[in-house]
């Protein structure tokens, strides 16, 4: 019995000596494995101020001052900075190959994407594709990077708070900053990538994005080719953070690809979308497919289908980083087939009753330059439209249209009963600096055609149009009594080729109180 106790004691002493000798080399061994893994996996120059391993009472790692400089670049801040971190491990996981850690907790994680992206473009502020070309970068032809098992494997990495910043070319401008919460990555260091989940605070429109998926393996030669896939939920984004619009947006979808070309499919719901100039909340829903460059945020919208009340809007375009101006440059082609005019006017007119109703077909090129100005002030449009069965909701205006139709047919005695729908209402328009300029604007009613051009101010709703009224009747046929005699004398001044009359007209005033009249000065001007 006593001899057995002595044998056990000797064995314990021998085992303790072996373990002591083994674990006295744990700290430098773990440090070497961590540095080696980070160097090879991220093609980075690694700096590590401190790393200590304690075995008793439980295995634990404490470290600080970790920085990664991609490709050893010292002209930009480090790609990754971790002021302090800790890790837990099994007793023999610290000395295994590869080293295996149970949980790693990062405090103060910062990821800084330098100007031009992770790899550094030769001309970093030149968009990957022309904004007005709408063409996303092609899918990369490079073979996928399968990676190799790392020297350090982590079952779970956690960062309660972290920051992702994308630098601006202009050193006086703040970078784009994303706040990351509750980042979790499992199986870090495995050859086929890492499952992750995280919550991000999107700066504009401000709101939280919850996402989960798989990231990696890290593409060492070109980090922009690192694969990523997953799904996201963007809830309660505040559109009021964008000048000129408002509402609460929610969105969800899926994404896959590589960092420089992420293909996204998703949808948005905004039950109270509003443009400040009109102040009328409206339900807006969209579905979309897009391509996103995750290294700089450039986005190419391959197709967006929006539903605004009963009007369907189809668009494609690009949202890319602007040169030397804060924000993004937006350029899109927009088309509407058989939409409702009243749905569109509700976005731009501060009135519960739209000035006109009817079916609308529209094509336009839309541009919203980068900058801090109100959306309405910087919005630019150039396109053409056509209306069918249009009617004015202002009774006085509609009455004037009815009278115009009546007199244009030479029917002076007819009453005001009935309505005359405006047909063949079409024209071209251009919006800039909050003012719409119409050209080649024409519409017809029975017996008359109106051809005008002019401007409409979205802010003060001022109207200034000039053009011609072409009627089938002569001036004498449009009047009676002594006025008919005077009209007969004046008819040569207003003769319309092919018969009838051509009258110069002007429309001024405001949208709610327009003034119609003959432009006598133009009528008496030769030519």
* pLDDT tens digits, one per residue of 33-59: 777 777 777 777 888 888 888 777 778
Task: Determine phi and psi for 270, rounding to 5 degrees.
Answer: -135, 95
- Give the separation between CA 334 and CA 63, rounded to whole angstroms: 54
Comparing 119 with 284, which gets the higher pLDDT?
284
Comparing 373 with 286, which gets the higher pLDDT?
286
What does 315-361 look like in DSSP terms, one character per residue? EEEEEEEPSSSSSEEEEEEEEEEEEEHHHHHHHH-SSSS-SEEEEEE
Tokens of 343: 């749905």
Distance of CA 378 to the CA centre of its chain: 16
Of 108-112, 427-431, 484-488, the poorest mean pLDDT is in 484-488
- Give the separation between CA 477 and CA 345, rounded to whole angstroms: 37
Comparing 286 with 236, which gets the higher pLDDT?
286
Comparing 211 with 173, which gets the higher pLDDT?
211
Kindly report the average pLDDT of the chain as a whole number: 78
What does 88-110 look like in DSSP terms, one character per residue? E--TTTTTSSSEEEEEEEEESEE
pLDDT at 382 over 80: yes
Distance of CA 268 to the CA centre of its chain: 11
Q: Cβ distance 239 to 246 under 8 Å?
A: yes
* pLDDT tens digits, one per residue of 247-296: 899 999 999 998 888 999 999 999 999 888 778 888 999 999 999 887 77
Q: Region 311-319: what's the mean pLDDT?
A: 92
- Give the separation between CA 425 and CA 386, rounded to whole angstroms: 6
- The rounded percent of the chain whose pLDDT value lies above 70 is 76
What size, in residues, is the chain? 527
Q: Cβ distance 196 to 188 under 8 Å?
A: no
Residues 6 or more apart whose CB falls under 8 angstroms from that of 501 comprise: 469, 470, 471, 473, 474, 475, 478, 491, 494, 495
Half-sphere exposure of 283 (CA within 13 A, CB side): 7
Environment class of residue 124 by beta-carbon count within 10 Å: exposed (0-12), middle (13-18) or buried (19+)?
middle
pLDDT category of residue 126 using cuts at 50, 70 and 90: very low
Q: Region 79-85: what's the mean pLDDT?
A: 91
Cα dihedral across residues 205, 109, 255, 200: positive or negative = negative
pLDDT at 454 over 80: yes
- Give the separation between CA 177 and CA 195, rounded to whole angstroms: 23
pLDDT at 520: 67
pLDDT at 18: 43
Of 212-226, 473-487, 506-520, the poorest mean pLDDT is in 473-487
Q: Cβ distance 129 to 11 under 8 Å?
A: no
Tell me if the bond preceding 408 is cis, omega within 30° of 0: no
Distance of CA 226 to the CA centre of its chain: 23
Environment class of residue 265 by beta-carbon count within 10 Å: exposed (0-12), middle (13-18) or buried (19+)?
middle
pLDDT category of residue 304 using cuts at 50, 70 and 90: very high
pLDDT at 101: 83
Half-sphere exposure of 313 (CA within 13 A, CB side): 21
Q: Region 448-459: what's the mean pLDDT?
A: 88
- Give the separation between CA 434 and CA 377, rounded to whole angstroms: 5
Comparing 489 with 217, which gets the higher pLDDT?
217
- Give the separation between CA 186 and CA 213, rounded to whole angstroms: 11
pLDDT category of residue 124 using cuts at 50, 70 and 90: very low
Environment class of residue 515 by beta-carbon count within 10 Å: exposed (0-12), middle (13-18) or buried (19+)?
exposed
Of 21-30, 332-341, 423-432, 478-487, the poorest mean pLDDT is in 21-30
pLDDT at 168: 60
- Give the separation between CA 261 and CA 28, rounded to whole angstroms: 40
Of 117-121, 209-213, 328-332, the poorest mean pLDDT is in 117-121
Distance of CA 98 to the CA centre of its chain: 43
- Give the separation between CA 500 and CA 92, rounded to whole angstroms: 102
- Give the separation between CA 276 and CA 244, rounded to whole angstroms: 5
Comparing 79 with 148, which gets the higher pLDDT?
79
Q: Cβ distance 255 to 264 under 8 Å?
A: yes
pLDDT at 410: 63
* DSSP structural state of residue 31: H
Comparing 374 with 466, which gets the higher pLDDT?
466
Nearest to 193 by CA among 156, 157, 227, 143: 227
- Give the separation between CA 171 and CA 511, rounded to whole angstroms: 46
pLDDT category of residue 339 using cuts at 50, 70 and 90: very high
Comparing 173 with 366, which gets the higher pLDDT?
366
Q: Region 296-318: what's the mean pLDDT?
A: 90
* pLDDT tens digits, one per residue of 385-444: 998 888 877 767 767 767 666 666 666 554 455 555 677 889 999 989 888 999 988 888
Q: Region 345-369: what's the mean pLDDT?
A: 85
């Amino acid at each position: 019995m006593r001899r057995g106790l002595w044998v056990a004691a000797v064995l314990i002493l021998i085992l303790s000596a072996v373990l002591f000798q083994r674990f006295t080399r744990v700290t430098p061994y773990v440090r070497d494995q961590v540095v080696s893994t980070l160097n090879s996996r991220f093609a980075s120059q690694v700096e590590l101020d401190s790393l200590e391993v304690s075995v008793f009472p439980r295995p634990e790692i404490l470290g600080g001052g970790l920085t990664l400089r991609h490709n050893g670049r010292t002209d930009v801040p480090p790609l990754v900075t971790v002021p302090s971190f800790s890790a837990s491990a099994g007793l023999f996981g610290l000395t295994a190959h590869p080293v295996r850690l149970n949980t790693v907790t990062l405090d103060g994680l910062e990821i800084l994407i330098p100007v031009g992206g992770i790899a550094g473009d030769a001309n970093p502020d030149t968009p990957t594709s022309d904004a007005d070309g709408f063409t996303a970068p092609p899918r990369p032809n490079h073979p996928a990077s399968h990676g190799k098992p790392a020297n350090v494997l982590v079952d779970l990495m956690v960062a309660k708070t972290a920051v992702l910043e994308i630098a601006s070319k202009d050193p006086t401008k703040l970078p784009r900053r994303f706040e990351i919460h509750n980042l979790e990555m499992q199986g870090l260091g495995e050859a086929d990538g890492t499952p992750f989940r995280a919550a991000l605070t999107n700066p504009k429109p401000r709101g939280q994005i919850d996402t989960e998926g798989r990231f990696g393996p890290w593409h060492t030669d070109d980090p922009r080719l690192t694969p990523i896939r997953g799904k996201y939920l963007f809830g309660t984004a505040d559109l009021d953070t964008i000048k000129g619009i408002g509402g609460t947006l929610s969105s969800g979808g899926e994404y896959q690809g590589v960092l420089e070309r992420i293909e996204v499919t998703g949808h948005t719901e905004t039950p109270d979308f509003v443009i400040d100039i009109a102040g009328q909340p409206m339900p807006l829903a969209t579905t979309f497919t897009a391509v996103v460059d995750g290294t700089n945020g450039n986005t190419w919208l391959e197709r967006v289908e929006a539903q605004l009340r009963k009007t369907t809007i189809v668009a494609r375009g690009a949202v890319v980083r602007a040169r030397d101006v804060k924000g993004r440059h937006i350029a899109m082609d927009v088309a509407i087939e058989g939409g409702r005019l009243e749905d569109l006017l509700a976005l731009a007119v501060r009135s519960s009753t739209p000035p006109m109703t009817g079916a609308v077909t529209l094509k336009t090129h839309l541009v919203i330059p980068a900058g801090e100005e109100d959306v309405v002030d910087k919005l630019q449009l150039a396109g053409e439209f056509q209306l069918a069965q249009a009617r004015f909701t202002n009774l006085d205006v509609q009455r004037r249209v009815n009278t115009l139709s009546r007199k244009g047919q030479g029917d002076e005695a007819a009453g005001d009963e009935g309505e005359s729908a405006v047909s063949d209402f079409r024209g071209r328009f251009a919006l800039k600096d909050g003012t719409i300029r119409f050209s080649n604007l024409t519409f017809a009613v029975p017996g008359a055609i109106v051809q005008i051009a002019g401007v409409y101010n979205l802010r003060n709703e001022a109207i200034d149009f000039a053009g011609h009224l072409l009627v089938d009747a002569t001036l004498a046929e449009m009047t009676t009594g002594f006025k008919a005699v005077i009209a007969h004398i004046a008819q040569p001044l207003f003769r319309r080729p092919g018969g009838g009359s051509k009258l110069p007209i002007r429309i001024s005033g405001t949208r709610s109180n327009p003034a119609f009249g003959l432009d006598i000065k133009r009528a008496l001007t030769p030519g």
